[in-house]
Every structure is written in structure tokens, then in C-alpha cells.
């Protein structure tokens, strides 16, 4: 396969590695480069760039791929090759970032329903049309809770008048929220000014107890 260039819109936690995804520049939609393991996460060695940094949100990257490896719940998956990834621009120039406008999903439904999850059985006969979405949330807030002794960071927002409360897997933002106590917090809680334009990359996670949960894979502050 020829190399693919894409704008990085997610570099999130997955198992012991990362899940990286973005929008292709060739007009073929979303892409999620994945590793060869059964859980498909990427190790740091696999996603390390040619300048020895790791992919950042809004980077323009070039990657060599081996072949498509779609899953019923994740049609955008492509197996990576052994060649090192390349950084083209950091961040991607304005002319490329303008492409993101056409990918914004207005809601209220995400991945086919207005819930926080999709039943795994839904994909047995009809594979998912997409497992990645870009949204501009309204009334965004942060929730820090404790579930079975484990601290969780979540995003609470409106989309098309529908409320969503989704787990955050963006490692950089989870680190920013470590100082926040349990409870709901204003948009500015993690240090935001409050007037930034924020986009969220949402992803369908792998099946867990019969469901694929909707996750906030990236919190993106758009350049002005």
C-alpha cells in the first residue's frame, strides 16, 4: 500500500499501549493504524516518529500500512508496517485543519443511537459504519468520580440537545485533571480559559460485557 497522510485526532490509552487515529488527506475518511497483537494497541516503539517524538493532536503524519484489518465494530483499522512513522507538519497547516469542519457530527445520535454504548450484537449482522466521530460539544463539563475504588475522568456535554457522560481516555487530559476533586467541574477546571474552541474525538471501544462503549479519545483545543 502507498503511504497515507492523516491529521492526528487521537492518541489515547488502550490496554498497555495507545490507540491513534485521524482523518486522511486523500478523502477516504478516518483511519486507525493498529498493531499486530490481538488487542491491536500500539507500543511506543511502533508509533514513535522519525524525530523521536510521539504523535500529538493535530500533527500531520505519514504512515506506511500493510493492509486493512476491519473489525465489526471498528471498520477504520489498518495494520501498520515496520517502517517508522514520519512527522510532516506540527501542527498541520490551516488549509488542512479546515478539512475537519466537514467531519463534525451534529448529533443528537452518535454511532447510531443516543446512548453511551452500543450492543455488540448489533454488529454481528451489520458492521458499524464508523467507530470514530468528531463533535463540537455544548455546555462541556468535567466529572471526576470513583468506581469500585478507581478514579475516573469523564466528559459531560450536550450534542443536539442530548446529554452524554463519557469516559475520557486521552492521557494528557487525564493527567491535567489529577488535581481535581471528586464531583462535577466547570469547563475551566483543568486550566482552560473558557473561550477556546474545543472539539472531541469520540471512539467506540472494544467489546466489554456485551457492549462497545463510547469514549472521549481526544480533547482538542483548536488553534485561533
Sequence-distant (6+) residues with CB within 8 A of 186 are 141, 142, 194
Among the ranges given (12-16, 102-106, 131-135), the one the predictor scored with the smallest mean pLDDT? 12-16
Mean pLDDT of 176-204: 94
How confident is the model at residue 15, as a pLDDT? 72
Distance CA(126)–CA(72), nearest Å, equals 8
CA 200/CA 142 separation, integer angstroms: 13
Residue 193, pLDDT above cutoff 80: yes
Percent of the chain with pLDDT over 70: 100
What pLDDT score was predicted for residue 30?
98
pLDDT of residue 149: 85
Q: Rounded to two decimals, what is the model's pTM? A: 0.95
- pLDDT at 40 (0 to 100): 85
Residues 160-182 as b/e (b if ≥16 CB within 10 A, e otherwise) read eeeebebbbbbeebbebbeebee
Domain ranges of the chain: 4-97, 103-221
pLDDT at residue 38 tops 80: no
pLDDT in tens, 123-146: 988 999 999 999 999 999 999 999
> pLDDT over 90 for what percent of the chain?
87
Strand partners, 134: 104, 201
Give 16 or 53, the one with higher predicted confidence.
Answer: 53
Closest CA to 158 of 119, 103, 106, 201: 106
Distance CA 209, CA 224 (A): 42
Q: What pLDDT score does 14 carry? A: 82
List the one residue out of 71, 87, 84 whose CA is nearest residue 22: 87
- Comparing C-alpha atoms, which of 192, 184, 180 is closest to residue 222? 192
Confidence label for 207 from pLDDT (cuts 50, 70 and 90): very high
Mean pLDDT for 155-181 is 95
pLDDT at 166: 97
Amino acid at each position: 500500500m502507498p503511504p497515507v497522510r492523516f491529521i492526528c485526532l487521537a492518541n489515547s490509552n488502550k490496554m498497555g499501549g495507545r490507540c491513534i487515529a485521524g482523518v486522511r488527506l486523500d478523502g477516504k475518511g478516518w483511519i486507525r493504524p493498529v498493531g499486530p497483537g490481538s488487542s491491536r494497541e500500539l507500543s511506543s516503539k511502533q508509533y514513535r516518529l522519525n524525530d523521536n517524538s510521539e504523535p500529538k493532536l493535530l500533527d500531520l503524519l505519514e504512515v506506511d500500512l500493510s493492509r486493512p484489518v476491519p473489525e465489526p465494530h471498528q471498520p477504520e483499522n489498518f495494520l501498520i508496517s515496520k517502517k517508522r512513522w514520519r512527522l510532516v507538519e506540527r501542527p498541520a497547516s490551516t488549509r488542512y485543519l479546515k478539512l475537519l469542519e466537514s467531519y463534525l457530527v451534529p448529533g443528537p445520535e452518535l454511532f447510531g443511537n443516543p446512548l453511551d454504548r452500543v450492543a455488540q450484537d448489533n454488529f454481528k449482522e451489520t458492521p458499524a459504519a464508523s467507530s470514530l466521530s468528531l463533535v463540537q460539544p455544548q455546555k462541556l463539563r468535567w466529572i471526576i468520580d470513583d468506581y469500585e475504588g478507581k478514579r475516573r475522568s469523564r466528559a459531560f456535554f450536550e450534542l443536539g440537545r442530548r446529554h452524554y457522560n463519557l469516559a475520557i481516555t486521552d492521557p494528557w487530559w487525564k493527567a491535567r485533571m489529577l488535581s481535581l476533586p471528586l464531583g462535577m467541574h466547570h469547563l475551566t477546571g483543568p486550566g482552560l480559559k473558557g473561550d477556546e474552541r474545543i472539539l472531541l474525538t469520540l471512539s467506540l471501544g472494544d467489546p466489554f460485557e456485551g457492549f462497545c462503549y463510547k469514549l472521549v479519545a481526544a480533547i482538542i483545543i483548536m488553534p485561533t
